[in-house]
Structure 1
Amino acid sequence: MTDDLLARHRAVLPSWMPLYYAEPIELVSGSGRRVTDARGRTYLDFFGGVLTNMIGYDIPEIREAVQRQLATGLVHTSTLYLIRQQVELAEKIVRHSGIPDARVFFTNSGTEANEAALLAATNHRRSHQILAVRNSYHGRTYAAMGVTGNRSWSASALNPLQVAWLHSGERLRGLLSRLDAADRVDAAVEDLREVLATQTAGDVACLIAEPIQGVGGFVHGPDGLLAAWRKVLDEHGILLISDEVQTGWGRTGEHFWGYQAHGVTPDLLTFAKGIGNGFALAGVVGRAEIMESVPAISFSTFGGNPIATAAGNAVLDYLIDHDLQANAARVGAILADGLRAAVGGLDPVAEVRGKGLMLGVEFVHPGTVEPDPALTTRVFEACRAGGLLVGKGGLYGNVLRMGPPLTLTEDEAREGLAILVDAIGSCVGGEVAA
């Protein structure tokens, strides 16, 4: 990026919309799992536009599907007309959702998808009381921000919803971290019962939860936590929304959806990011009786438009045909096992965590669980200097986040791992395992 473009950016865009790196870069092209900046430097991309370029860059099957739709001259028709690509994609999503008798509503982003899920749930239950999880992130608009439990991403204290907060099951900090792992689910259930008894009145609409918290630093509670919560929710008729914006489409390697690790089926799930592989595509899928609870006309002008759903169909077909869920498990294990072996024992590394191709490394001051965002930033910059793009996150900005395209090869995983290990070793100053 030239200084001129950076200056122009700062002159016309708000300061609260951050840019990565001390010297921001302009990405101008991409191929496979690599992107190239305006100065000609090529990087291996381990963040994929924040887990969005799920299949990678310049994929012929996706490009050709979009070009076929462009050739018709119909870029947009609005959902007031039948859209064949939209119907076909909805049929596929319903089949893969695991939710019986489901309906799909398409939107442009994960934020809008969560807003739509909250709209359906609150209408179905005739209540604006919501259960949400601490350290969560669900979007930047009014209601979605209201159920976001991360102060760094909560741009307003105003809230149209009445929200009660549950413990996240975070393993490093908080009350539940003091317990043995086997006791955390029971403690979380007790917490839910107490919250319902003390912070709610009458019917509660829903619990919205991420199976793995994305912006929160890839933190997740024990497998089975959602099912344990669900037993209590069912006693009160409370709905469960699984926010699969980052965990969906096989990224965790274990399952197609994050909720499946918990042995429970949600009433509604939201999806976004990877399904469009860069095209704006998202939505909510849920049981028909809930989705049909919206009492007035509501539609999304651009949600599920012909171009986006042409891309979405090609993405989902490619994902299934190439069994990218299995690939995520295989190459994700190379990264996770390699990181734990090489840097997991270093004092500033509190935890290497995640599933499949959704991995985080949390940095702390040695001998404590005090977050070290400064060290995280140094490692982040060192990765870029080594030719690797990663992300940052966590409540305290001290987690290195990685969500590579699900097409990542074993050789690319090892290449990225070597850069990561070198970057961490150079910044930590400790001995890195060979």
Structure 2
Amino acid sequence: MTNDLLGRHRAVLPDWLALYYEDPLEITHGEGRHVWDAHGNRYLDFFGGILTTMTAHALPEVTKAVSEQAGRIIHSSTLYLNRPMVELAERVAQLSGIPDARVFFTTSGTEANDTALLLATTYRRSNTVLAMRNSYHGRSFSAVGITGNRGWSPTSLSPLQTLYVHGGVRTRGPYASLGDDDFIAACVDDLVDLLGHTRAPAALIAEPIQGIGGFTSPPDGLYAAFREVLNEHGVLWIADEVQTGWGRTGEHFWGWQAHGRNGPPDIMTFAKGIGNGMSIGGVVARSEIMNCLDSNSISTFGGTQITMAAGLANLNYLLEHDLQGNARRVGGMLIERLRSAAAQVPAVREVRGRGLMIGIEITRPGTDQADPQAAAAVLEAAREGGLLIGKGGGHNTSALRVAPPLSLNVAEAEEGAAILENALRSIQ
């Protein structure tokens, strides 16, 4: 049955639509932190549909909210007042930390970043954008144009002039050997020099922790230091929280808060986990930035009632059950367990991350050279052991990505770590 589906997939879908595994997996249903495939095999899910099933599979509170809303009305567009959309916008505005915030809902993180770029370039009257090396911001034409990861940027054509800044990867690049303070100082000096050679950009867009890039991040405080320079030039800061938001990092509700001594970003984008599988993305910005557009606009599917109902129920559950605290506690235990296991595997260059957002970088032993084949082998071995994980990294890195639902318990974390340890050992 799966082979037939794979053939049908290949016959009608693009060749560039990536599939995991030599024998691709059809997931038929899930519950809690587990999913099942078409053959009845059960897996512990440590990737959550790319960090999207944030709370749990088949969470009763969310499925009930979706079912009840579907029985009333599913969709009307933004041309009509929409109570669930207003209620979720109020919650997101308050949680964002951005003063006098306005919220616009989209259907994806890509669309959210598109909107942020539209706002920033219009507000600043500039089509120059600063982005981070090794970054990823989506698959649309404009988002690809600011993506600093060669493996996910299929064209150099763009409506934007993009300049790439150092700092998103702590342990690679020209400043990797420096201590944290000197690393930040060197990246700031580079930013200052870059700004001296270009017309004033509209914004810097940055993921606090790079997602597709392999869960890499700078030292805490880098973007706060950047902000001081950006403010001198009137350049906006866009925080891409599509993967880092909603408490996943454990220590903070938003990734930007690790760099927040100069206040919240001017614009923040979000998506993925807030819908727990329903298609929700969005942008939060100060009112004068959000309201700078001087033409009409709507969203046909952004903010539709059924997705907003899911988002409200999911957010309520997350806050009421302190899943941020759970990510901090269980994630802290999991990352130490994985570091202990990885210390015995020469192919593991680094275990990094925070909360339930953990990256394991695989290289050829004794070198810094990426080993994509070994990373793929670990992915396969983990599946054989009953665990689903992700992978990522820039063009010269190969990383495994571990990002379970935030309700993960200690026993499940230990089970997943044991499977992953065996998978890592299998490549020696």
Q: Which TM-score bucket, shorter chain as reference?
A: over 0.9
What code does the residue aligned with 2:293 have? Answer: V
Aligned to 1:183: 182
Counterpart CA distance in 2 for 1:129 and 1:387 is 46
Structure 1 residue 228 and structure 2 residue 230: aligned? no
Q: CA deviation at 1:171?
A: 2.8
Aligned to 2:258: 261
- TM-score normalized with structure 1 length: 0.97
Mapped contact 2:133–2:165 kept (Cα < 8 A): yes
Aligned to 1:218: 215
Aligned to 1:77: 76
Residue deviations 1:79-99 (CA, integer Å, cap 9, x gap):
000000000000000110000
Mapped contact 1:130–1:207 kept (Cα < 8 A): yes
Task: Trace 1:91-110 onto structure 2 (pairs within 5 A).
Answer: 91-110=90-109
Mapped contact 2:74–2:304 kept (Cα < 8 A): yes
Aligned to 1:172: 171
What code does the residue aligned with 2:320 have? Answer: D
Mapped contact 2:132–2:168 kept (Cα < 8 A): no
Counterpart CA distance in 2 for 1:11 and 1:296 is 42
Counterpart CA distance in 2 for 1:230 and 1:123 is 20
Pairing partner for 1:208 from 187, 205, 208: 205
SS in 1 for 2:380: helix
What code does the residue aligned with 1:175 have? Answer: P
What code does the residue aligned with 2:10 have? Answer: R
Counterpart CA distance in 1 for 2:313 and 2:427 is 41
Aligned to 1:20: 20
Identify if the C-alpha distance between structure 1 residues 169 and 69 changes in structure 2 by more than 3 Å, giving closer, same or farther.
Answer: closer
What code does the residue aligned with 2:208 have? Answer: P
Mapped contact 1:56–1:277 kept (Cα < 8 A): yes
Counterpart CA distance in 1 for 2:379 and 2:276 is 24
SS in 1 for 2:176: helix
Q: CA deviation at 1:169?
A: 4.1
Aligned to 2:135: 136
Counterpart CA distance in 1 for 2:255 and 2:181 is 20
What code does the residue aligned with 1:83 have? Answer: N
What code does the residue aligned with 1:57 have? Answer: H
Task: Trace 1:284-433 onto structure 2 (pairs within 5 A).
Answer: 284-396=283-395, 398-428=398-428
Task: Trace 1:101-120 onto structure 2 (pairs within 5 A).
Answer: 101-120=100-119
Counterpart CA distance in 1 for 2:104 and 2:2 is 41
Counterpart CA distance in 2 for 1:277 and 1:344 is 34
Mapped contact 1:242–1:266 kept (Cα < 8 A): yes
Aligned to 2:42: 42
Task: Trace 1:267-286 onto structure 2 (pairs within 5 A).
Answer: 267-286=266-285
Q: Which runs of 5+ in 2 are unaligned?
A: none
Mapped contact 2:206–2:238 kept (Cα < 8 A): yes
SS in 1 for 2:426: helix
Counterpart CA distance in 2 for 1:210 and 1:345 is 31
Mapped contact 2:345–2:425 kept (Cα < 8 A): no
- TM-score normalized with structure 2 length: 0.98
Counterpart CA distance in 2 for 1:3 and 1:317 is 40
Mapped contact 1:169–1:184 kept (Cα < 8 A): no
Residue deviations 1:395-421 (CA, integer Å, cap 9, x gap):
146100011100111110011011011
SS in 2 for 1:207: strand
Mapped contact 1:173–1:369 kept (Cα < 8 A): no
Counterpart CA distance in 2 for 1:163 and 1:98 is 28
What code does the residue aligned with 2:364 have? Answer: H
Counterpart CA distance in 2 for 1:29 and 1:171 is 38
What code does the residue aligned with 1:125 have? Answer: R
> Percent sequence identity over matched residues?
57
